[in-house]
Structure 1
Amino acid sequence: MPLVFVGLGSNLGTTDETSTMILCRAFVALAELSEFPLIVSSLWRTAPVDCPPGSPDFVNAVAALFPACRHDSSEKVADEVLAQLQQIEREFGRVRGDVQNAARTLDLDLLICGALQLTTSALTVPHPRLQQRAFVLAPMAEIAPGYIVPGQNLPVEILLNATQIEGRPERDVQRINIFAPSVTL
């Protein structure tokens, strides 16, 4: 069973919930997919990247899980996890419209599925922009700083440092001190 990393993001609360509350509730939904306890990062506030002008800030996090699904290949596991993540997004009110990167209640990205490197019309793992995005790498570095990203052959913490050195706009992330990461891998 491969270790799976999932990126979480929200920049559109509801009348009843803030983005922070939505992500905390999403952790519970993700825990139901895992064979073992979910490993979660802190929450991080980040400026929107590649979003329409005026988009609100995001709250981001990363979770690591061991999928409860049983398949003979990591590719089949990845396909099933992707379907489960999309179902959770729908349950949380995610609507995919015509505007790319529009504000959303919940965005769940399959970042890594074990050592799998895959590109299909429906899915690319590792996530194709993972190494460029501090809003993914900073929370991931909390729970798995030494994890070697497949295809990059570098640990998460080195990839994060590279985003900060290069001065990319995606590097501006700020931890929200609500709770500490659950564990470090």
Structure 2
Amino acid sequence: MMRAYVALGSNLGDSRQQLLDATAALANLPHTRVLARSRFYRTPPWGVRDQPDFLNAVVALETPLPPHALLQALLEIERVAGRQRGGLRWGPRTLDLDLLHVDGYAISDETLTLPHPHIAQRAFVLLPLRDVAPELEIPGQGRVDALLRSVDTQGCEAVA
């Protein structure tokens, strides 16, 4: 079993329900437990600004799934939720699931980079990640609570 951290985001449809459904779907993965879920955060869009605000969260999982298999499961959960890939990069979406970090893994290949390459730059990831793992050390980057102090959190607010 390993610990994994997954970022959840949505800005189309009933975003709150999308995140709740995604959390339930993660808990239903084979032999996987959701250990913690952050509060929900309303955050401004990143990348493409002309779109609705996002609702974001992070879950900590305990799972036997290796990182690539877990990534495939995340993509399937997105697909079931109506996510259509191939559109505008960083554009609006019903559901976005990003594998942020898996304890003990550093991967960089054509399908997966761990830890997530932008984890230290995004308040919408670091704020909820701090809720579930403030002392988590992101290899080569630092602790979550310290990383959060170096990003702009303006416009981000906890909503639940």
Alignment of 1:27-66 (within 5 A): 27-33=23-29, 35-51=32-48, 53-66=49-62
SS in 2 for 1:162: coil
1:81 paired residue number: 70
Q: Which runs of 5+ in 2 are unaligned?
A: none
Q: Distance in 1 between matches of 2:151 and 2:26?
A: 28
Greater strand content = 2
CA RMSD of aligned residues (A): 1.4
Task: Pick closer, same or farther for the CA change 1:156–1:171 going to 2, 3 Å.
Answer: farther
- 5+ residue gaps, structure 1: 70-76, 165-169, 178-185
User: Any residues of structure 2 matched to 1:148-167 within 5 Å, and which?
Assistant: 148-152=137-141, 154-164=142-152
Query: How many matched pairs?
Result: 159
Structure 1 residue 102, shift from structure 2 partner: 1.7
Q: What do residues 21-79 of structure 1 show as CA deviations (whole Å, max 9, x unaligned)?
A: 1111111011112533431000000000102x42110000000101143xxxxxxx110
Q: Does structure 1 residue 21 correspond to structure 2 residue 21?
A: no
Is the 1:116–1:150 Cα contact (8 Å) retained in structure 2? no
Contact 1:134 1:172 in 2 (8 A): no
- Matched position secondary structure for 1:100: coil
Contact 1:7 1:108 in 2 (8 A): yes
Q: What secondary structure sits across from 2:136 in the alignment?
A: coil
Whether the aligned pair in 2 keeps the contact of 1:112 and 1:127 (CA below 8 Å) is: yes
Per the alignment, residue 146 of structure 1 pairs with 135
Distance of 1:118 and 1:37 partners within structure 2: 23
Q: Residue type matched to 2:124 in 1?
A: F
> 2 CA distance for matches of 1:64 and 1:171?
25
CA distance in structure 2 between the partners assigned to 1:150 and 1:172 by the alignment: 28
Task: For residue 171 of structure 1, report the CA deviation from its aligned partner.
Answer: 4.9
Tell me by how many angstroms 1:141 deviates: 0.3
Question: Please, what TM-score do these two structures have when normalized by structure 1?
Answer: 0.81
- Show the 5 A alignment for 1:87-166: 87-152=76-141, 154-164=142-152
The amino acid across from 2:32 in the alignment is E
One-letter code aligned to 2:80? E
Task: Find runs of 4+ consecutive structure 1 residues off by over 6 angstroms.
Answer: none
1:67 to 63, 69, 78: 63
CA contact (8 A) 1:31 1:38 kept: no
